[in-house]
Amino acid sequence: MLDFRFASKPGARPDHPALCGVVGSGNLEILVQPGEQPDCCQVRIKTSARGFGATWHAVLGDFAASHPAGGTAIAINDMGATPAVVSLRLAQALADYQGGAL
């Protein structure tokens, strides 16, 4: 399990969580909920792939820097998704969350 916190610009904080993706081979699911601190994005990752801490840090860091993800708590279940797939799903999940999708 990996835990991260990043500074991030605050965005909309609806009550309803948003889920994106499926835990299949090469894929992942992302759950976005309201977090504790408005200017911080917390991320917890459960993954089958070992030793990619630095990669996750880079991908998540990019995401937090370029999206208004402050005030979110993100939980990820990953089965070996590539950084490209992770970035795509993060953006989708945040959009679903802030767009009010259930």
Partner 1 sequence: MSLSLTNRHSWFEATARARINGLLDAGSFSEILPPAASQPSPHLAQLDLPGAFDDGVIVGYGKLEKKPIFVIAQEGQFMGGAVGEIHGAKIVGLLRRAAREKPAAVLFLIDSGGVRLHEANAGLIAISEIMRAVLNARAAGVPVIALVGGSCGAFGGMGIVAKLCSAILISEEGRLALSGPEVIETVAGVEEFDAKDRALVWRVTGGKHRYLMGDCAMLVDDDIAAFRTGTTAFLADWREPAPSAALLRARQQVLENRLAAYGTLRDGLQVWAALGVAQPESVPMLDRDSLVALKEGLPT
* Encoded tokens for 44: 């917890």
Positions 33 through 92 that interact with partner 1 (CB under 8 A): 33, 46-48, 75, 77-79
Cα–Cα distance measured from residue 15 to residue 66, given in angstroms and rounded to the nearest whole number: 23
Near partner 1 by CB under 8 A: residue from 11, 13, 31, 92: 31
Residue 33: other Cβ atoms inside 10 A? 17
Contact between 79 and 27 (Cβ < 8 Å) = yes
Q: Closest approach of Cβ 66 to partner 1, in Å?
A: 25
Residues contributing to the site for partner 1 (CB under 8 A) = 17, 19, 22-24, 27, 29, 31, 33, 46-48, 75, 77-79
